Amino acid sequence: MGHFAVIAPPLYSHFHALQALAQTLLARGHRITFIQQADARTLLSDERIEFVTVGQQTHPAGSLAPVLHRLASPGGLSLFRVIKDLADCTDMLCRELPELLKALKVDGVIADEMEAAGGLVAEALHLPFVSVACALPVNREAGIPLAVMPFRFAQNEKALKRFQASSDIYDRIMHRHGEVILKHARAFGLTERRGLHQCLSPLAQISQMVPAFDFPRQQLPDCYHAVGPLREPVSVALLNAPWPALRQPVVYASLGTLQGHRFRLFLHLAQACRNLRLSLVIAHCGGLNMQQTHQLELAGAAWVTDFVDQRAALQHAQLFITHAGLNSALEALACGTPMLALPIAFDQPGVAARIEWHGVGCRASRFSGVHRLERHLQKVLADGSYTLRMSAIQAQLQRAGGCQRAAEIVEQALCQQHVVLAEAT
């Protein structure tokens, strides 16, 4: 059986998805080692998965918290500090991974697409690797807006120019990160590159996105595999509502693990739901204190908590208010729950654009006032077609294969290629 290293950014949603894949591989007899800075160890909950610390000089224990704080509010000038954080992490991994991977004697690498170091170092060491898109895939294609862009899909001349111009702007903004990628590609003797999309595996690219929820792509490589959500297997049975008896309809709101601190947005949602006589359930993921929780309840929220079983919540809610993270959107689609998307950062504008384009929810600005939020809530709740349009996406999600299919792809790509490389040497 193989020993695979997992290289991913130190973010909960990415580690959560890759841990589910790792657990499936463990059950098939493989050994899995995650490699990241010390603070990322807490993102794993399965003790069978090994963890090796790197970056003790540049990324010591306690240094991740301020990085996550900046990631949670990446607007304005702080965006460039966020890019520096990303560049520093890639630089550290590219410096420390080569010797470590040799010492660990891994057979292959599972590389998150959002961390270029995994692919760069694996390629430099002639190790087989697979790329995994826990967020929207970073594959670029003419006529498709970048994952971080909020644009609807269109093929007219104006739209195509907008897509290209936004890609050029994005590359200029990400210059610092691109220079780190270029520096290490040159040092490793690889072809020159500057972007995440140029660090993907030629063997296998695994994505949680399914075609029925994406824009119509035409140029994905043959090694691209849409497997759907990477999650631990769960029963299809209806779960009990995770909240006390509430007046119908129930609206469930969660902004994910990084954005749960946005009290003002939650306050506007509470006021809008109170005015419409809707029962609003808020899961803030530990981002609010008890005083803020009490204020939200006074403002009209029916139930406020830190964490909730999201699948159970989506099964019992008539509408999901979301930051449009890909994981949350896919869970809502699987449960048939229409969405009001309030994107904030990263690939969330791209996910929200797909929600709107496929007609499975609507999109609004996170700066919307109470009355505008009321209109959006009324629109989604009154229109049953949002739910009907989910059927094709749900069918693909059910057939996609999830962790089991992803594990098969990893085995085929890494184990077989490792044998080929070993025979060649």
Per-residue pLDDT at 348 exceeds 60 = yes
- Calculate the alpha carbon distances from 176 to 79, 180, 194, 228, 277 in Å: 12, 7, 10, 32, 49
Question: In the chain, what's the furthest Cα-to-Cα distance?
Answer: 71
Beta sheet of 250-254, edge-to-edge order: 303-305, 279-283, 250-254, 319-322, 339-341, 361-363
**pLDDT tens figures, 382-399:** 999 999 999 999 999 999
- Residue 417 is predicted with a pLDDT of 62
As a whole number, mean pLDDT of residues 71-85 equals: 85
Mean pLDDT of the chain: 94
Q: Is 122 helix (H, G, I), strand (E, B) or coil?
A: helix
Amino acid at 260: G
**pLDDT tens figures, 237-259:** 678 889 999 999 999 999 999 99
- Residue 423 is predicted with a pLDDT of 52
Q: Identify whether the C-beta of residue 3 lies closer than 8 Å to the C-beta of residue 30.
A: yes
As a whole number, mean pLDDT of residues 224-228 equals: 97
Nearest to 14 by CA among 111, 119, 97: 111
As a whole number, mean pLDDT of residues 102-129 equals: 98
Per-residue pLDDT at 190 exceeds 80 = yes
Confidence of residue 349 (pLDDT cuts 50, 70, 90): very high
What ranges make up the beta strands (E) of 204-348?
A: 205-207, 224-226, 250-254, 279-283, 303-305, 319-322, 339-341
Confidence of residue 77 (pLDDT cuts 50, 70, 90): low
Per-residue pLDDT at 422 exceeds 90 = no
Confidence of residue 1 (pLDDT cuts 50, 70, 90): confident
- Residue 234 is predicted with a pLDDT of 63
- How far apart CA 102 and CA 107 sit, in angstroms, is 10
Q: Identify whether the C-beta of residue 99 lies closer than 8 Å to the C-beta of residue 379.
A: no
Per-residue pLDDT at 147 exceeds 90 = yes
- Residue 78 is predicted with a pLDDT of 83
As a whole number, mean pLDDT of residues 36-56 equals: 97
- How far apart CA 188 and CA 123 sit, in angstroms, is 9
In 10 A of CB 152, how many CB atoms?
Answer: 12
Confidence of residue 232 (pLDDT cuts 50, 70, 90): confident
As a whole number, mean pLDDT of residues 67-82 equals: 85
How many helices (H) and strands (E) the chain has is answered by: 17, 13
As a whole number, mean pLDDT of residues 29-38 equals: 98
Which residues on neighbouring strands pair with residue 206, listed in sequence order? 132, 225
Nearest to 325 by CA among 354, 353, 347: 347
